[in-house]
Amino acid sequence: MVPTLGESVSEATVATWYKQPGDTVVQDEMLCELETDKVSVEVPAPANGVLGKIIAPEGSTVQAGGQLAVIGGEVSLAPASIAANNASELSKDIEDAPSAKKLMDETGLDRAKVTATGKGGRVMKEDVQNTLAAGLTTTMATAEAPRTAVPVNDAAREERVKMTRLRQTIARRLKDSQNTAAMLTTYNEVDMTEVMALRNEYKELFFKKHGAKLGFMSFFTVACCHALREVPEVNSEIDGTDIVYKKFVHMGVAAGTPTGLVVPIIRDADTHVICRN
CATH of the domain at 74: 2.40.50.100
Q: What is the number of domains present in the chain?
A: 3
Start-to-end Cα distance in the chain = 56
3 state SS of 88: helix
172 and 269 housed in the same domain: yes
Q: Could you tell me if residue 49 is inside a domain?
A: yes
Does 180 lie in the same domain as 209? yes
Q: Which domain holds residue 214?
A: 152-276
Does the residue 264 lie in any domain?
A: yes
Residue 62, H or E segment: strand 61-63
Residues 240 and 171 in one domain: yes
User: Is 143 inside any structural domain?
Assistant: no
Tell me the whole-structure pTM to 2 decimals: 0.41
Q: What is the CATH number of the domain that holds 99?
A: 4.10.320.10
Q: Which of 250, 270, 244, 248 is nearest to 159 (CA)?
A: 244
- State whether 6 and 71 are in the same domain: yes
pLDDT tens-place string over residues 63-122: 888 899 999 875 544 444 444 444 444 444 456 777 777 778 777 778 888 888 776 677
Q: Is residue 195, in this structure, part of any structural domain at all? A: yes
Q: Are residues 75 and 100 in the same domain?
A: no
Q: Is 121 within the bounds of a domain?
A: yes
Report how far Cα 67 is from the mean position of its chain's Cα atoms: 29
Highest mean pLDDT among 53-57, 123-127, 173-177: 53-57
Cα separation of 73 and 64, whole Å?
A: 25
User: Of the given ranges (136-145, 155-164, 239-248, 261-270), which has the lowest mean pLDDT?
Assistant: 136-145
- Between 266 and 153, whose confidence is greater? 266
Rounded CA separation 133/136 (Å): 8
